[in-house]
Amino acid sequence: MRDLRAFAFGAIAIGVLAYAGMAALAVATLAAGRSLAVGLGPLVFVAVEREASAGVMTFGSGLAAVAIVGGLANVASARLIRRRAGRRSDGVE
């Protein structure tokens, strides 16, 4: 249960931060009147297309992948902290 909670908190936190960062980048790109595509291999994080009268922002599956990796990293760090802390002398977890 602790691992699931650590995964959920990490995934949500990293997902929100990644989304906010990509949204800010997309808005800045649209304000500059340019087009942009940010991705890693087949994973697209954000794509911004600027046309004559409108702009289109697309958030891809890369944001979900970043959130999953963030959750897994949070689980790993929680396990490491728990293992290094050891058992408390009062028996409280």
Contact 35, 48 (CB under 8 A): yes
| The model scores a pTM over 0.95 | no
Instruction: Give, as one character, the DSSP assignment of residue 91.
Output: -
Contact 50, 30 (CB under 8 A): yes
Contact 70, 13 (CB under 8 A): yes
Strand partners, 37: 47
Per residue in 21-56, pLDDT (tens digit) is 999 999 999 888 889 999 998 999 999 998 878 888
Domain regions of the chain by residue span: 2-82
Question: d(Cα 73, Cα 76) in Å, to the nearest integer?
Answer: 5
